[in-house]
Amino acid sequence: MMRRLPILLVGVFLTITLARVAQFSARHMQAGALGWLFAVGLGAAVYVSSYWTRTTTTRRQAAVALAFFVAADAYFNFADVWLAADTTIPLVAVGAAVYGLFPTVATALLGWMSGAIAKLPPDAAQRSAQTARTRAGTALAAWVERMVGASPAHAAQPVADAALDDARAAQPAAHEGASTAHVCAQCGYIAHNQQALAAHMRKHLRKVAQ
């Protein structure tokens, strides 16, 4: 909760600055709906530029952008409050200045704080949420795999794999049978064993003797 609190406070102060800038633009600039777009862009730019000052690579650019956007947003906020307040009273004038500048400065500081908080290691709640997301993703992947595996193409795949395995198993048997055969060198006769081959060779010898 404490990690998310700066974001919630940013939302509060951004709402204030948006209303003031849009109100000032509508009253004195006659901007109409464009005043709201301008206010949203300016307030978001203050927060985003402040957030990215946390990274060394973007720190310089973010700091320049932050100074520019804070100056513009603070001016419009201050002007809207100053024109509405009774600045003839010193305390009211000081209060109007603080009240007008505070939301812009608060948004910038909270954005800077949010960037620093994002660099902290995850706490127990974040680790638990990450574990839950991982489990959900694993369950979803398993469900998709089951659904895909139930298709006809995948159902036929195990049968084809089994036939391929049988063919591979038959190949060694064929080679083994060929290796155990006894072949006559003269006529190519294949005997089942050495004794049959010897009896066959004796026939050749008798023919030669005759």
Residue 162 lies in a domain: no
Residue 30 lies in a domain: yes
Residue 138 lies in a domain: no
If asked whether residues 181 and 111 sit together in one domain, one would say no
Residue 97 lies in a domain: yes
Q: Which of 60, 94, 120 is where one domain is finished?
A: 120
If asked whether residues 176 and 93 sit together in one domain, one would say no
Range in 18-32, 62-76, 94-108, 128-142 with the lowest mean pLDDT: 128-142
If asked whether residues 115 and 44 sit together in one domain, one would say yes
Residue 95 lies in a domain: yes
Most confident region among 12-16, 66-70, 165-169 by mean pLDDT? 66-70
List pLDDT tens digits, range 111-124: 888 877 777 777 55
Q: What is the mean pLDDT of the chain?
A: 77
If asked whether residues 107 and 209 sit together in one domain, one would say no
The pLDDT of residue 144 is: 75
List pLDDT tens digits, range 35-78: 888 888 888 899 889 888 888 888 899 999 999 999 998 888 88
Q: Which two tokens stand for residue 75?
A: 């001016």
Q: Which of 120, 141, 163 is where one domain is finished?
A: 120
Q: What is the mean pLDDT of residues 109-138?
A: 71
If asked whether residues 116 and 192 sit together in one domain, one would say no
The pLDDT of residue 177 is: 47
Q: What is the mean pLDDT of residues 7-22?
A: 83
The pLDDT of residue 129 is: 54
The pLDDT of residue 61 is: 92
Residue 132 lies in a domain: no
This prediction's pTM: 0.51
Helix residue ranges per DSSP H, the chain: 5-28, 33-51, 59-84, 90-118, 124-149, 152-180, 194-209
Range in 22-31, 48-57, 140-149 with the lowest mean pLDDT: 140-149
d(C-alpha 70, C-alpha 111), whole Å = 12
List pLDDT tens digits, range 175-209: 444 445 577 777 777 777 778 878 878 887 777 66
CA distances to 165, 176, 182 from 171, rounded to whole Å, are: 10, 9, 19
CA distances to 10, 21, 45, 57, 94 from 109, rounded to whole Å, are: 9, 19, 13, 20, 21
The pLDDT of residue 88 is: 86
Structural domain for 12, as ranges: 5-120
